[in-house]
Homo-oligomer: A and B are copies of this chain.
């Protein structure tokens, strides 16, 4: 039976793979902020801040709470948990435990022989 590894959502990664959005995430790590504050602190224009926040929100990285006519954005834990578990599933790579190269070379050679 095939081993079951965590699947990483591509959209989470591409959402984070944009400098301004990454900055927003870094900024929000210390707590929730309004759109205006985010725009200010990152020297973004308000519309761009809203757009990036929408993308982060659509991907579940962030959640909104309406407070009067402000919107307070904060990080959601789920995507980070997912990412953590995905990375953890590469522990064998990180520990460099299985140096499969030699073994692979042997297999390659055998396959070649059998294909002569």
- A103 partner residues in chain B, CB cutoff 8 A: 31
* Copies of this polypeptide in the complex: 2
Chain A: interface size category: 35 or more
By a CB distance below 8 angstroms, the chain B residues around A84 are: 84, 87-88, 94
> Is the Cβ of A17 less than 8 Å from the Cβ of B10?
yes
Are A100 and B32 in touch, CB under 8 angstroms?
yes
**What are 7 A-B pairs with beta-carbon distances under 8 A?**
A14-B17, A17-B17, A30-B100, A31-B98, A31-B100, A31-B101, A75-B93
Task: State A103–B83 Cα separation when bound (angstroms).
Answer: 28
Residues of B contacting A74 with CB < 8 Å? 100-101
- Does A26 sit at the interface, judged by CB under 8 A? yes
